Amino acid sequence: MELEGRTAVITGGASGIGLATARRMAQAGASLVLGDVEEESLARAVGALREGGARVVGVTCDVAVEADVVALRDAALANFAGAHLIFNNAGVGGGPAIGTPKAVWDWVMGVNVDGVINGINAFVPLFLEQNEGHVVSTASLAGLGGVPGMGPYCASKFAVVGIAESLFHELRLSGKNVGASVLCPGFVRTRIDESERNMPEDLRAYNDTPAVRAVSAMASDAVRAGIDPAVVAEAVTAAVLENRFWILTHEHAAIRTSEQRVAWMSGGQPPRINLEGATRP
Ligand X SMILES: NC(=O)c1ccc[n+]([C@@H]2O[C@H](COP(=O)([O-])OP(=O)(O)OC[C@H]3O[C@@H](n4cnc5c(N)ncnc54)[C@H](O)[C@@H]3O)[C@@H](O)[C@H]2O)c1
Helix, strand, coil percentages in the chain from 3-state DSSP, rounded to 5: 55, 15, 30
* DSSP E strand stretches across the chain: 7-11, 31-36, 56-60, 85-88, 133-138, 178-183, 246-247
155 binds ligand X (CB under 6 A): no
Query: What stretches of 134-226 show up as alpha helix (H) in DSSP?
Result: 151-174, 210-224
Q: How far is the CB of 22 from ligand X (least distance, A)?
A: 11
How many CA atoms lie within 13 Å of 95's alpha carbon, on the beta-carbon side?
Answer: 24
Among 96, 146, 151, 226, indicate the residue that binds ligand X (CB under 6 A): 226
DSSP sequence for 237-255: HHHHHHT-SEE-TTHHHHH
- Out of 8, 9, 10, 17, the only residue in the binding site for ligand X (CB under 6 A) is 17
Judge whether 206 counts as a catalytic residue.
no
Length of the chain: 281
CB of 5 to ligand X, least distance (A): 26
Tell me if 116 sits within 8 A of 38, measured CB to CB: no
| Active-site annotation holder among 80, 123, 127, 153 | 153
Q: How far is the CB of 202 from ligand X (least distance, A)?
A: 16
Q: What is the DSSP letter of 195?
A: G
DSSP 8-state secondary structure symbol assigned to residue 273: P
For residue 151, the one-letter residue type is G
Rounded to a whole number of angstroms, the minimum distance from the CB of residue 208 to ligand X is 20
Q: Which is nearer to ligand X, 7 or 195 (CB)?
A: 195
Interface characters, 103-122, with ligand X (x: CB under 6 A): --------x-----------
Q: What is the DSSP letter of 268?
A: -
Q: Pick from 37, 104, 124, 155: which binds ligand X (CB under 6 A)?
A: 37
Binding mask 59-88 for ligand X (x = CB under 6 A): --xxxx------------------------
The minimum distance between CB 177 and ligand X, in angstroms, equals 26
Binding residue (CB under 6 A) for ligand X from 7, 10, 18, 151: 18
When asked if residue 12 is in the footprint of ligand X (CB under 6 A), the reply is: yes
Which one of residues 185, 233, 240, 256 is an interface residue with ligand X (CB under 6 A)?
A: 185
Burial of residue 74, with CB atoms counted within 10 A of its CB: 0-12 exposed, 13-18 middle, 19 or more buried = middle
Q: How far apart are CA 242 and CA 221, in angstroms?
A: 34
Q: Which residues pair with 134 in a beta bridge?
A: 85, 179
89 scored as a contact of ligand X (CB under 6 A): yes
Smallest distance, Å, CB 201 to ligand X?
A: 14
Q: Is 179 in the site for ligand X (CB under 6 A)?
A: no
Active site residues: 153
Binding positions for ligand X, rule: CB under 6 A: 11-12, 14-18, 35-38, 41, 61-64, 89-92, 111, 138, 140, 185, 187-188, 190-192, 195, 198, 223, 226
